[in-house]
Amino acid sequence: MENTNLGYQYNMIYNYFTKLLGHKEEKKMYELKKVSIPSGETIAYREVGSGDLTILLIHGNQSSSIIYHNFMKRYEDKAKVYALDLPGFGESSYNNKHTKIDDWAKDVNDFMEVIGIDRAIVVGHSAGGGVGLKLAADFPDKLSHLIPVGSVGVKGFLLPKLDRFLRPIPDEYVYSYEDVANHPSIKLVEKLIKGKAKLSTRNMWKQSLYHIKSPERSMYEIYIDEFFKERCFTDISVALCQFNITDEVTYKKGDGSIKNITAPVTYFHGKKDLVVPFAIAEDSIKYFPNGADLIGLNQAGHMVFNDSPNEFYSHVDRIIAQYI
């Protein structure tokens, strides 16, 4: 950890004022459990509720299962709800280097097998939406409904190629491991993780994830601490850039596996999303063989359930009601 640079000084000032201002009473978090899967990874997860209906929650990049705390609280009386830390995130292991979104999707399927989840409503946020999409494509019988939220597109994440002045080059993107790993935005995030730079992380998130509304202070601190546990940021960023389940060509032809998705699909996407633009969701729903619904939230950015919780949960309530 850096201890002589400006970032360290910022963190010291930030921590001082955080303590000075005080926190609300910290919320009681749902207990983390752990289970081993055949690949040799150990999956950390949270579970609440009971009943015949199962909901499985898959978090996105720069996150962990903790992001679903409020979701779990809302539905624990209606279903059995699981939220897992993907390998490389939170308290899960990262023993095997992952190179494709397929790898994380297989981890989730293995988790379901070990836990005994036959079928579930799967909610995937951001990168977790990509994992959910690939899960639905490769293991279609495991999903009763797929809900991508602020999800990466079915043709992957578009990371712009930059010119020598660090300006995006129109309609040019990076795909190779080397190009993605050396992209200034990726290198910046890796530096924040390694330096545990809290203030700089908040500034970054203020311009991307939380430009609409910040989480309550006590939860924000937890989200940042969880972000610093990530060990696979570059790996999953490359995998997202190379992700493509259509038959179309990005840097190469996609695998076409979207045609295997049989579960109903309902997209939720903020119309003010700065990470994955709303147009990506509009384009993605065109490729599903059985169609897909898209619910656009006018006042939400990338963190839909944080920015417009009442609207988001009212729609989710109606979906869940179909299965109770």
Q: Is 206 inside a domain boundary? A: yes
pLDDT tier at 217 (50, 70, 90 boundaries)?
A: confident
Residue 292: which of 248, 321, 258, 242 has the closest Cα? Answer: 258
pLDDT-based confidence at residue 18 (cuts at 50, 70, 90): very low
Task: State residue 28's pLDDT score.
Answer: 63
Confidence (pLDDT) at 23: 42
Residue 27 clears pLDDT 90, i.e. is over it:
no
CATH of the domain at 20: 3.40.50.1820
pLDDT greater than 60 at residue 16: no
Q: Determine, yes or no, domain membership for 77.
A: yes
Question: By the 8 A CB rule, do 45 and 33 touch?
Answer: yes
Please state, in angstroms and as integers, the Cα–Cα distance from residue 149 to each residue in 65, 141, 189, following that order: 15, 21, 22
Does a structural domain hold residue 178?
yes
Confidence (pLDDT) at 130: 98
- Look at residue 5 in the predicted model and tell me its pLDDT: 53
Q: Which residue has the tokens 């996105």?
A: 60
**SS3 assignment, position 199:** helix
Residue 228 counted as domain residue:
yes
**Number of domains observed in the structure of the chain:** 1
In the beta sheet, which residues pair with residue 44? 34
How many helices (H) and strands (E) the chain has is answered by: 12, 10
pLDDT band at residue 3 under the 50/70/90 scheme? very low
**What's the domain range around 95?**
6-321
Average pLDDT for 37-58: 97
Q: What is the average pLDDT across 274-299?
A: 97
Please classify residue 172 by burial: count the beta carbons closer than 10 Å to its beta carbon, then call 0-12 exposed, 13-18 middle and 19+ buried: exposed
pLDDT in tens, 81-104: 999 999 999 999 999 999 999 999
